[in-house]
Chains A and B, each alone.
Chain A
């Protein structure tokens, strides 16, 4: 294919480096320096999409981030698929594979388009709400059909092969945008010694100057850009970020910048390179030099390919050496629109006419066009375009002076390209991100950044200043202001001289009237991406949607991936007219991050796969892995779940592990339990205030179990605390609750009881804990210690400082299994050593390692609760049948006391924890099952409670369960029923939750 729209010279492309790319399976050529869009236009590709709702053919409209139509799917392989790529922002590389995202069977021959042709009545605004809501259950069916027909790109079905990165940065001045204003600001700040980051979404810095034929100091603007970028590069404290979109401006001058490091090189990042990088920047001052987006005008059939904005036409000609057509008609409300015609004529192609909606046009650019003999038609407008897949001609008619009515007859002109300019909209997106409401300016005919609390400055186009000389000056001013605010000496920068052009006032016009009323005229598109028309907005207003936010939601205006960059202001103008209000009265919707869509990979960075979340391992982790343990996540900890032997099912493993503990001895890695070291003369008093039971008399060398409640009286954690010294305690918490409990202790100490002398430190990782439990555990311990561990000397609920396998150890004689148990705590770096010594010495007792699942079964056989499983924030100690763990003798009203005495906590019929024994001993009730008294009663059945823990107990030969039943503690022996999803019902008897060794004799031997 030849590049029939390519000029033989000019532009910032390298004609010696030819690149091959495909679009919809067909191969084309472009040059280095092209965007995908400029290469498509060079090749004369007109149709790049089918529209969302009406399936109309659409072409490239713009040259930057505001492009609504050329949103393509990229990717040569399944894994490298990327949806939502604006062809105007994608640099061309050799081998690029692209396709249109919608249109069936193709964008050129589209069946869905038939529906669109039937007319607007088929799909009015609110169509989805009105049509697909009933019956409600069918929405999912409708939705999938609609999505298939519309199509907006797709995610890859394979894993993204690329790596993404993130970096945290700080700077004095963050300059957003590297056009004339941004470069001047950055240069000033840099020369003044500030630490500067300047970011721009384009592949090279320069912004609008790269698209311009204007001269700076008598030389091409790009020369000045080159010099400034060179100089900025010499500063050690200046970071230049091309290909980097500042996508979010967050609170307190925090900005997120999306840098595309290798998207311009290949389908997938080259070896050892990162595809994209997210910069997280905290800036002392921010200079927004984001420029402005040109507004197209709204006229009939303004979406036919060949309809563009004037600035884009200039950009394609001047920057890429591409003229996107042969015969141009310009329609403009301002002087800037003339530039496209001048550039078009310079490129040697035919300017049919410039249609100026103003009755008088006399700016310097207007005169330049007239002097070149271009046909300038004032006081008129292009009211309609002819053509379907490409513009073939336009209808021009005279307007009244306010632009509200057609007053003259219609003239038809032949043309293949229509470039319009309704003025410029300052790019205020980032300033909106921080909550600042934009302010309308009549003189700018656009919204300007509103008042802000951020340390933010603005310069150039964002202020509605579009002349290069003024933009440069504003950039300089912003740079100097930043230096002053930073307390740095102000420096001066000699700005390049530009020819000052006389610019006449623009006309405030958005929607071009038609001969017919809007509702009957051919479609006049406001938002291309979501197919919102002027008529649609009028209908929304007529149907009573008056707030602009409601109009937006009802019509979907601005809901596309372009966030309505082109169409929003026009839409507000149409709504304002329909509501008979001014634009500032109608107001504007605002913008949220991200400014342009970004890849999930860039958001996630390295936090995926193995680095998704931190993982915590105990000192014995390696041993567990070697033994083939399966692991369970508890908080961030990896805990052994169970240790299967070859050929065992999970249940067989659990049965074996349980029996080993009950009959001989088992070993559990309990290192993950939270451990908090508590010291100070008031430590004991403090414990009494945060636990529900008494601590005043706990002697040195003793341990005690405690329940921790919230102020509402509800249990949230539990654990054993040991008295290490008169003023020294070691508290243990649940594995998952450790951080919360620690903060809980600190908040009460720091904010409520600072007069108590007590200190906390988290020591969870400092200790390794090997729990040996079972009738033979004492014999095993005795093999590894010289100390006396007999029942006479080492009582249940004692702890001792002894030596185990030659290592100093704190051994706690406490039990979570009901068996004789010793929890051996050693300094963590000895953990593996002591563990292996225990394993070795334990061989003769058939010492069996077990995991969390067996631990759960063993404790449930004893009716011991697990905080978080048998508690859910709605049960107090009495509900758990643990009134023995509540002391009402303590003088201080401990946390939870008042709460558990609220009337609701003391009423009858609260759900209480009980044991449940199934009638069929083999049946295990699923956890979470709901209890009813009579499964045959009419529905809905009243739910009496639920199962919180349920297991098969091999030791007992029947299933066991713990659960809640209303008033359960008074209903021992009653029968309850658990209806299952499959219609069967499990019958169970309410019993004590202590199934095994009810007298607790085994732990006391």
Chain B
């Protein structure tokens, strides 16, 4: 069971108080009508399933009911950082792992 720091409550609380709402930073297209079916499908259905760092949206459902983001390592389950909605993560795959010679992220 994860131990999660709620940035709104400024406290560590048990995972039981939270819901994970999936991958973070999935922005709703500003002009949905301009999206092709394929683009809308991407927005709706396609999510990352990384081995390693993952940015997730959580809500303190049984607490303050506020949403926030966190960066979690899906292998070790470490929570690397917690940050507010609207903010960008500071721990990202490239910042930890080396990029390969071709420039692609390993």
Contacts and interface: CB of A to CB of B under 8 A. Distances in A.
Interface stretch (A189-197, A210-218, A743-751): A743-751
Given A252-B3, A453-B76, A899-B40, A747 B33 contact: no
Interface in A242-256: 250-254
A743 B32 contact: no
B68 to A, nearest CB: 9
A435 B75 contact: yes
A253 B67 contact: no
B11 to A, nearest CB: 13
A903 B37 CA distance: 7
B9 interface: no
A752 interface: yes
B67 A752 contact: no
B38 to A, nearest CB: 10
A747 B35 contact: no
Interface in B1-58: 1-3, 14, 19, 21, 27-28, 31-33, 35, 37, 40-41, 43-44, 57
A390 interface: no
A902 B1 contact: no
A251 B32 contact: no
B40 A902 contact: yes
Interface residues of B, number: 31
A893 B32 contact: yes
B59 interface: yes
Contact of A747 (B41, B59, B76): B59
B92 interface: no
A966 B75 CA distance: 46
A750 B3 contact: no
B19 A743 contact: yes
Contacts of A898: 32-33, 35, 40
A358 interface: no
Most chain B Cβ neighbours within 10 Å, of A252, A711, A899:
A252
A45 to B, nearest CB: 43
B21 A754 contact: no
A747 B67 CA distance: 7
B86 interface: yes
Contacts of B81: none
Contacts of A434: 77
Interface in A894-941: 897-899, 902-903
A902 B42 CA distance: 13
A451 to B, nearest CB: 10
A26 to B, nearest CB: 46
A663 B53 CA distance: 64
Contacts of A903: 37
A712 interface: yes
A743 B58 CA distance: 11
Contacts of B67: 746-747, 750-751
A603 to B, nearest CB: 14
A358 B32 CA distance: 77
Given A252-B3, A435-B75, A746-B59, A751 B33 contact: no
B1 A250 contact: yes
A743 B77 contact: no
A893 B66 CA distance: 25
A453 B27 CA distance: 32
Contacts of A275: none
Contacts of B21: 743, 747
Interface in A21-66: none
A639 interface: no
A754 B85 contact: yes
Given A252-B77, A750-B66, A898-B40, A282 B14 contact: yes
Contact of B65 (A712, A746, A752, A902): A746
Given A251-B77, A453-B76, A453-B78, A712 B1 contact: no
A893 B75 CA distance: 39
A898 B37 CA distance: 9
A752 B28 contact: yes
Contacts of A899: 40, 44
A896 to B, nearest CB: 10
B59 A743 contact: yes
Most chain A Cβ neighbours within 10 Å, of B44, B61, B66:
B44
A751 B85 contact: yes
Contacts, number: 63
A738 to B, nearest CB: 13
A435 B76 contact: yes
A893 B33 contact: yes
Interface residues of A, number: 24
A480 B74 CA distance: 32
B91 to A, nearest CB: 14
A251 B1 contact: yes
B85 A254 contact: no
A358 to B, nearest CB: 41
Nearest to B29: A898
Contacts of B75: 435
Interface in A696-726: 711-712
B77 A435 contact: yes
A747 B85 CA distance: 10
Nearest to A752: B28
A254 B79 CA distance: 14
Contacts of A750: 66-67, 85
Contacts of A253: 3
Nearest to A893: B32
Contacts of B27: 752
Contacts of B40: 898-899, 902
B77 A902 contact: no
Contacts of B59: 743, 746-747
Contacts of A751: 57, 67, 85
A743 B63 CA distance: 13
Nearest to A711: B44
A480 to B, nearest CB: 25
Contacts of B76: 435, 453
Contacts of B28: 711, 752
A679 to B, nearest CB: 15
A842 B13 CA distance: 51
Nearest to A898: B32
A754 B27 CA distance: 13
A375 B104 CA distance: 68
Contacts of A712: 44
A601 to B, nearest CB: 21
Most chain B Cβ neighbours within 10 Å, of A435, A743, A897:
A743
A743 B61 contact: yes
Contacts of B66: 750
A252 B44 contact: no
Contact of A252 (B1, B19, B43, B61): B1
B19 to A, nearest CB: 7
A833 B58 CA distance: 42
B17 to A, nearest CB: 12
Nearest to A905: B37
B72 to A, nearest CB: 10
Contacts of B14: 282
Interface in A77-136: none
Contacts of B43: 711
Interface string B64-106: 0111000001011111000001100000000000000000000
B31 to A, nearest CB: 7
A750 B60 CA distance: 12
Interface in A857-900: 893, 897-899
Going nearest first, the 7 A-B pairs with the smallest beta carbon separation are A898-B32, A252-B3, A251-B77, A453-B76, A893-B32, A750-B67, A254-B1
Given A252-B79, A898-B40, A902-B41, 17 more contacts: A252-B1, A252-B3, A434-B77, A435-B75, A435-B77, A453-B77, A453-B78, A743-B19, A743-B61, A746-B59, A747-B21, A747-B59, A747-B67, A752-B28, A754-B85, A893-B33, A898-B33
17 contacts: A250-B1, A251-B3, A252-B79, A254-B1, A282-B3, A746-B59, A747-B59, A750-B66, A751-B57, A752-B27, A754-B85, A893-B32, A897-B32, A898-B33, A899-B40, A899-B44, A902-B37
